[in-house]
């Protein structure tokens, strides 16, 4: 198990140091939502572009702790190319996993699985979900 935790930590640090899809675009085809986590100083904006019910692009920007910023990068890769309905299932499943509730381990969540350990640290739950909440709300605006 410690090897797995070590691997998960490496994935998180990689996304923190080399965030994917970072930087917002000035394009009216993107919907945008901003979420803050005052208890940690996390502040993330997510942009989503949807066409034909499919997520064409996900962008994010902001500041925060390593869990928050890395999870924004992981979220963008996980949801990219998914149908909006699939993305909503993944987001719900992710929340359940992070909160230590029952979740569907067979649902493909990409690298998002590396945050499963956050369930053991309730104070960090908000950090791991800020970017996902922003994505969820942004998709609702579509």
Give the DSSP H or E segment for 93. Answer: helix 84-98
Q: Is 127 in the site for Zn ion (CB under 5 A)?
A: yes
Total site size for Zn ion, rule CB under 5 A: 5
Q: How far is CA 81 from the centre of its chain?
A: 14
* Burial status of residue 131 (CB atoms within 10 A of its CB: 0-12, 13-18, 19 or more): buried
Q: Which is nearer to Zn ion, 114 or 127 (CB)?
A: 127
Binding range to Zn ion, per CB under 5 A, among 32-40, 73-81, 114-122, 132-140: 32-40
Q: Is 68 in the site for Zn ion (CB under 5 A)?
A: yes
Among 11, 24, 40, 80, indicate the residue that binds Zn ion (CB under 5 A): 40
**How many whole angstroms separate alpha carbon 80 and alpha carbon 75?**
8
Q: Is 65 in the site for Zn ion (CB under 5 A)?
A: yes
Q: Give Cβ neighbours of residue 121 (< 8 Å, ≥ 6 apart).
A: none
Binding range to Zn ion, per CB under 5 A, among 33-41, 52-60, 93-101, 108-116: 33-41
Residue with tokens 């963008």: 76
Q: Give me the numbers of helices (H) and strands (E) for the chain, helices first please.
A: 4, 3
Q: Is 42 in the site for Zn ion (CB under 5 A)?
A: yes
Binding range to Zn ion, per CB under 5 A, among 50-58, 82-90, 100-108, 123-131: 123-131
Provide, rounded to whole angstroms, the least separation between the CB of residue 26 and Zn ion: 27
| Residues of the shown chain interacting with Zn ion in the complex, contacts defined by CB under 5 A | 40, 42, 65, 68, 127
């Amino acid at each position: 198990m410690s090897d797995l935790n070590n691997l998960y930590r490496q994935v998180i640090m990689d996304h923190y140091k080399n965030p994917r899809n970072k930087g917002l675009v000035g394009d009216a085809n993107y919907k945008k939502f901003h979420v803050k986590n005052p208890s940690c100083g996390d502040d993330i904006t997510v942009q989503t572009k949807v066409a034909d019910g499919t997520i064409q692009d996900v962008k994010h920007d902001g500041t925060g702790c390593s869990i928050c910023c890395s999870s924004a990068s992981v979220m963008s890769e996980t949801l990219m190319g998914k149908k909006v309905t699939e993305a909503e299932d993944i987001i719900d499943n992710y929340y359940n996993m992070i909160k230590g509730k029952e979740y569907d381990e067979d649902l493909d969540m990409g690298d998002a699985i590396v945050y499963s350990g956050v369930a053991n640290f309730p104070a960090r739950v908000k950090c791991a979900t800020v970017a996902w909440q922003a994505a969820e709300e942004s998709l609702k605006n579509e």
